[in-house]
Chain A
Amino acid sequence: MNAVTNVTVNNVAVKSVSKRFGATVALDGVDAQFGPGVNGLLGPNGAGKTTLLRILATVLAADSGDVDAFGVDPSTGDGRLAVRRRLGYLPQEPGFHRHFSAFDFVDYIAILKEWAERRTRHDEVRRVLTLVGLADVMHKRISQLSGGMRRRVGIAQALIGRPDLLVLDEPTAGLDPEQRLRFRELLGTESAGATVLLSTHQTDDVAALCQHVVVLLAGSVRFSGTPTALAALADGRVWLADERDPRADLAWVTGDGLVRHVGEPPARAQHVTPTVEDGYLVLAGRAGHTGASEPDPAVRVS
Chain B
Amino acid sequence: MSETQWHVPDEALRRFVADPGAGDGIGAASIEAHLTRCAACRETAASSVDRAALSRSWEALADRIDRPRATVVERLLGRLGFGSSLGRLIAATPALRWAGLAATAVVGVAAVMLSRFAGADGPFLVVAPLAPLAAIAAAFVPTTEPGGEASVATPLWGAGLLLRRALAVLALTIGILALTSLALPGLDVRALGWLLPAVALSFGSIALGTFLRVEIAATGLAFAWVTTLTVLRVLGGAGFSVADSALFDARGQFVLFVVTAVSAAVALTRRHRLGTLEVFP
Which residue in chain B gives the minimum CB-CB distance to A56? Answer: B153
User: Chain B contacts of A113 at CB under 8 A?
Assistant: 154-156
Q: A107-B68, A113-B155, A119-B63 are in contact. Are A154 and B150 (CB under 8 A)?
A: yes
A119 CA to B61 CA, complexed, in Å: 11
**CA A21 – CA B85 in complex, angstroms?**
36
Collect the chain A residues with CB atoms within 8 Å of residue B85's CB. 111, 116, 118
Q: State the majority secondary structure of interface residues on B.
A: loop
CB proximity of A135 to chain B, nearest CB, Å: 11
A residues 112-141 in Cβ contact with B at 8 Å: 112-114, 116, 118-119, 122-123, 125-126, 138-139
Give Cα A125 to B62, complex, Å: 12
B16 at the A interface (CB under 8 A): no
Are the CB atoms of A95 and B276 closer together than 8 Å?
no
Asked if A100 meets B276 with Cβ closer than 8 Å, knowing A111-B88, A119-B63, the reply is no
Assuming the contacts A107-B68, A118-B67, asked whether A84 and B148 have C-beta atoms less than 8 A apart, the reply is no
B150, A91: Cβ atoms closer than 8 Å: yes
Choice from A84, A116, A123 contacting B59 with Cβ under 8 Å: A123
Q: Is there an interface contact between B68 and A112, defined as CB atoms closer than 8 Å?
A: no
A103 at the interface (CB under 8 A from B): yes
| A184, CB-defined interface residue at 8 Å | no
The answer to whether A59 and B146 have CB atoms under 8 Å apart is no
Residues of A within 8 A of B (CB-CB), count:
47
Residues of chain A with a CB closer than 8 A to B154's CB: 84, 109, 112-114
- A105 CA / B151 CA spacing, docked (Å): 10
Q: With an 8 A cutoff between CB atoms, is B84 at the interface? A: yes
B276 CB, min distance to chain A CBs, angstroms: 6
Task: Name the contact of A119 in the complex, choosing from B59, B148, B275 (C-beta under 8 A).
Answer: B59
Q: B63 and A57: CB pair below 8 A?
A: no
- Tell whether A87 is near chain B: CB-to-CB under 8 Å: yes
Chain A CB within 8 A of B147 CB: yes
Q: Is the CB of A59 within 8 A of B68?
A: no
With a CB–CB cut-off of 8 A, which chain A residues contact B89? 108, 111-112
For residue A21, which residues in chain B have a CB less than 8 angstroms away from its CB? 281
Is A277 interfacial (CB 8 A cutoff)?
A: no
Contact with A along B51-67 (1 / 0, CB 8 A): 00000000100110011
A112 to B92, CA, bound (A): 12
Known A111-B85, A122-B66, A126-B62: A100·B155 in contact at CB below 8 Å: no
Closest residue of B by beta carbon distance from A119: B63
Task: Say whether B76 faces chain A, with CB atoms less than 8 Å apart.
Answer: no
Say yes or no for A97: interface residue by CB 8 A criterion: yes
Name the residue on B nearest A89 (C-beta). B153
Instruction: For the complex, give the distance between the alpha carbons of A109 and B149 in Å.
Output: 11
> Among the listed A57, A61, A104, A114, which residue makes an inter-chain contact with B156, where contact means beta carbons less than 8 Å apart?
A114
Nearest-Cβ distance from residue A132 to partner chain B, whole angstroms? 14
Distance in Å: Cβ of A241 to nearest Cβ of chain B: 46
Q: Does A96 contact B (CB under 8 A)?
A: yes
Interface residues of A (CB under 8 A from B): 21, 54, 57-61, 77, 80-81, 84-85, 87, 89-91, 93-97, 99-101, 103-105, 107-109, 111-114, 116, 118-119, 122-123, 125-126, 138-139, 154, 157-158, 167
| Shortest 8 CB-CB contacts between residues of A and residues of B | A95-B148, A112-B154, A97-B146, A91-B149, A89-B153, A84-B155, A57-B153, A112-B156
Having A58-B152, A59-B276, A109-B154, one finds 10 other A-B pairs with CB under 8 Å, namely: A58-B153, A60-B281, A91-B150, A99-B146, A105-B146, A111-B88, A111-B89, A112-B157, A122-B66, A125-B66
- Which of B's residues lie within 8 Å of A, judged by CB? 59, 62-63, 66-68, 83-85, 88-89, 92, 97, 143, 145-157, 272, 275-278, 281
Can you name 16 A-B residue pairings with CB atoms under 8 Å? Answer: A57-B153, A58-B153, A59-B153, A80-B276, A89-B149, A96-B148, A108-B88, A108-B146, A108-B151, A112-B151, A114-B155, A116-B83, A118-B63, A122-B67, A126-B62, A126-B66
